[in-house]
Amino acid sequence: MREANGLEEKTKQDKSYTICSPEIMMDLLIGDTGECVTEYGGVVIRILNPARFPWEHVFRTLLKLNHEVYIDERDDFLVIISKPKVD
- pTM, two decimals, is 0.76
Q: Give tens-digit pLDDT for 19-67.
A: 788 899 999 999 999 999 999 889 999 999 999 999 999 999 999 999 9
Taking the C-alpha atoms of residue 71 and residue 42, their distance in angstroms, rounded to an integer, is 13
Picking from 5-9, 16-20, 30-34, which range would have the lowest pLDDT averaged per residue?
A: 5-9
Residues 55, 71 contacting (CB under 8 angstroms)? no
Name the DSSP class of 8. Answer: E
Query: What is the per-residue pLDDT across 66-87, written as a single tens digit (0 to 9) for each?
Result: 999 999 999 999 999 999 998 7
Is residue 9 scored above 50 in pLDDT?
no
**Residue spans per domain, the chain:** 21-84
Pick 46 or 9 by higher pLDDT: 46
15-19, strands of its sheet edge to edge: 2-4, 7-12, 15-19
pLDDT score recorded for residue 13: 53
* pLDDT exceeds cutoff 90 at 18: no
